[in-house]
A and B are shown apart, each in its own frame.
Chain A
Amino acid sequence: MNIEMKGINKSFGTNQVLKDAGFLLKDGEVHALMGENGAGKSTLMKILTGVYTRDAGTVLVDGQEVVYKSPQEAEKAGIVFIYQELNVLFDLTVEENLFMGKEITKGFGICDKKAMRKKAQEVMDRMGVNIPINAVMSDLSVGQQQMVEICKALMVDAKVLIMDEPTAALTQSETEGLFRLINDLRKKGVSIVYISHRMEEIFELCDRITILRDGTYVGTENIKDINMDDVVRMMIGREIGERYPKREGVKIGDEVICVENLCKGKTFQNVNFRVHAGEVLGVSGLMGAGRTEIMHAIFGNLPYDSGRVLINGEAIDIKCARDAINAGIGFITEDRKTEGLLLEKSIAENIELANLGKVSKKSVLSKSKGRELVKKGIEEFRIKCFGPEHECNNLSGGNQQKVVIAKWVYTDPKVLILDEPTRGVDIGAKKEIYNVINDLAAKGVAVIMVSSELPEVLGMSDRIMVVHEGRVTGIIDAAQADQEKVMTLATGGTL
């Protein structure tokens, strides 16, 4: 299917998000759509699929002008959008989700369970994913839920598949499975629009790339003809220098946190590690390896069976988040939307909530102290907003993450745990987050950074801890580490 979008304009209120944007998709190609957050990628695709109506411009599908009035209409025409935000029914099973609204029936609305189970299993097998189809969605990991979403799209005979950050929550092996599948689909003539912030993936997978900036079309190139620096330049209109800024002259000091023999049932066993002042410990591993759970346990959010945590050489008893915070631990969780932020509240309320002690006197809030702290946060972390009252819902991913980081940094942690700190964040904001991590390290904070992005772990850490099935399989110096070594450890191998 060929799709041509020309001269697309779209405004929300007085704010124009697309100005003369365009896009040309050829039959059977994987086409990357890139741009910073807010560049209009998702909006452009939502216009194509009938989620939004366009103010101006034309959309030609195989030469015919079309206006889809709803995503259902677009789906009927064979254009399916897999959203970044999971669109799943958490209380239902995998199978029920896959067939939601498209149940196979024996007539009279009676579901043909057998046929559905068979077809569901087929699709899962084709994807190479191993998720029981009768599992309840809420019991699955985010990565698994995402795979179900992708399978759901494949249930429909899609001719064009639009994927918005599909790998954001996937493990390496799941990602590989997805790529195999995308390559299969390409061979069958399916066109794929691939929206991602991950350069490596784009260069590995895509045929062509279109870049948007501030709602306008910048250009389309063959992936073979350009390199990553070109893409970044096109995206942000300037150079950003090195992707992973160096920490220069940061002295690694005394040991701050020491985790000894931490165990929890089958989730993780005998976890031992230490982090020093000014050091960044990268934590790598496949999804479901137990990385996140270990961090939750350290933070008192997940009870553990045995073992202990020492801060500055002193064993601390952590039963809840409050205890951890009092001991000097901060925790930027993996899912900023459900755990990191009060989305419907302002930047001010979010920053103040984590620092109630600082902005109040005898439990009474001090307006001036609160305002001062929030203003400082917005300036220091360069949060793009209208002001302290800006609702977090309306911030871009990167800026939301900056709010979460700001609120934790002001609790003056001795140890800061960051779980997937740059997920769903664009290149410019990523770099700012890396700079923040470096600044913290320079101030003597012990940083623990959990990440599924290998280049990031390699580029930012002093040492790398690798977790495989709940066990630490190795802690290696970043200087001696490479992608291969980390992956070997992450899959249970030895060096």
Chain B
Amino acid sequence: MGNTATKTLNKKSWTSYLGEYGAFIALVLLVVVISIISPDFRTAGNFLNLLRQATFNGLIAFGMTCVILSDGIDLSVGSTLALSAVICAKLMTSGIPALAAMPIALVVGTLLGAVSGLLVTKGRLQPFIATLVTMTAYRGLAMILTDGKPISRLAEIAGSSANQFAFKFAGRGNFINIPVPAILLVLSLVIFYFVLNKTTFGRKVYATGSNAKCAKLVGVNITKTKIIVYALSGFMSALTGLLLISRLDSAQPTLGDGYELDAIAAVALGGTSMSGGRGKITGTIAGVLIIAVLNNGMNLLEVSSYYQDVIKAVVILVAVLSDHKR
């Protein structure tokens, strides 16, 4: 009875601050250490490169954060990315200009995500199973659509020169020397931060993940909230897919394979609770950057890729454990 009331009377201890900003502290430490060891790492060019690399995982991880906050998980992000990208490429090969095909692909991605949401809510499937189903199905559909072969030289078939420019600009362009994907990453971060922290929808997402029963009783539409977060995740996946095919100038049905795991890892690194209700988008960006810095740094230091995976695993384990301990 009374003991729980008294256990944490001190409002905020330094450990809770550490927990809150732990991912950032780890990120800074990592950057400092690698900068000291590797001179190549601390160049402006490399930082931009790193940011570009972080973008793809980052955009997906933002959507994933919302899904996980609502007490779900989205395993289908990689497949959704591939299927939307392939559909975009297919539309372009059939003569539809890039400026039309790309928005269509975004809508498709959103709908694909909404399907997962419907399976979770109306179908009453557990999120893990529901998105395992969509993950498998979307990957298969991407394979069927392309016959398993990549669709290449997309920029050439993008349509008029304006269309060609737009298509290339998305994944390869620079705006005042900053890669467009990196700008999108920052923009998305701002939007997600705003939505999660400053809007009634954000509150509903947290409430749904924290205690759906209670949220429902105060009038939160759980079904709607969940469908929206999955749709959002699908949108972010499709967006990432478009940036990727623009950058690679080719759409492969195997695109984005395994991306769901990096995204989930980033969300977990950022301190978001896997059972929903607790977490921050700022933590996720820190998690994304930690993974990117690790990848980039270890490549520069010529660490064998076998060791890289083990080291990444250890970092994630330590981060999540220290989060638990607090």
A residues engaging B (CB < 8 A)? 12-15, 17, 37-43, 46, 52, 84, 164-165, 299, 301, 320-322, 325-326, 331, 333, 338-345, 349, 352-354, 356, 360, 363-365, 386, 389-391, 393-397, 399, 407, 424
Contacts and interface: CB of A to CB of B under 8 A. Distances in A.
Interface in B191-218: 198-204, 206-207, 210-211, 213-218
A321 B219 contact: yes
Contact of B218 (A321, A360, A365, A393): A321
Contact of A394 (B8, B200, B215): B8
B199 A395 contact: no
A342 B204 CA distance: 11
B122 interface: no
A15 B6 contact: yes
A322 B216 CA distance: 8
Interface string B201-240: 1111011001101111111110000000000000000000
Nearest to B198: A365
B1 A353 contact: no
Contacts of A393: 4
A13 B203 contact: no
Given A43-B3, A320-B221, A342-B206, 9 more contacts: A13-B8, A43-B2, A301-B217, A345-B206, A349-B206, A353-B207, A394-B4, A394-B7, A396-B2
Nearest to B7: A12
A354 B221 CA distance: 12
Interface in B1-50: 1-11
Q: 3 smallest A-B Cβ distances: which pairs?
A: A38-B2, A322-B219, A354-B218
A17 B221 CA distance: 41
Contacts of A349: 203, 206-207
Interface residues of B, number: 33
Max chain A Cβ within 10 angstroms of own Cβ: one of B6, B199, B218, B221: B218
Given A12-B9, A363-B199, A342 B217 contact: no
A364 B8 CA distance: 32
A352 B215 CA distance: 11
B153 interface: no
A250 B129 CA distance: 56
Nearest to A354: B218
B256 interface: no
18 contacts: A14-B10, A15-B10, A38-B5, A46-B3, A320-B219, A321-B216, A321-B218, A321-B219, A339-B214, A339-B217, A343-B211, A349-B206, A354-B218, A356-B203, A363-B199, A389-B11, A394-B9, A407-B218
A468 B1 CA distance: 32
Given A42-B1, A396-B1, A397-B1, A342 B6 contact: no
B217 A356 contact: no
Nearest to B213: A339
Contacts of A407: 218
Contacts, number: 130
Given A322-B221, A325-B218, A407-B218, A42 B213 contact: no
A352 B3 contact: no
A356 to B, nearest CB: 4
Contacts of B200: 356, 360, 363-365
B90 interface: no
A136 to B, nearest CB: 19
Contacts of A333: 217
Nearest to A336: B214
Interface in B51-77: none
B71 to A, nearest CB: 12
B247 interface: no
Contacts of B9: 12-15, 394
A139 to B, nearest CB: 17
A46 B203 CA distance: 37
Given A352-B203, A353-B215, A353-B218, A386 B11 contact: yes
A356 B1 CA distance: 31
A343 B5 CA distance: 12
A321 B215 CA distance: 10
A366 B213 CA distance: 25
A124 to B, nearest CB: 28
Nearest to A324: B219
Nearest to A335: B213
B113 interface: no
Nearest to A407: B218
Given A338-B214, A342-B211, A365 B219 contact: no
Max chain A Cβ within 10 angstroms of own Cβ: one of B1, B5, B200, B219: B1
B117 interface: no
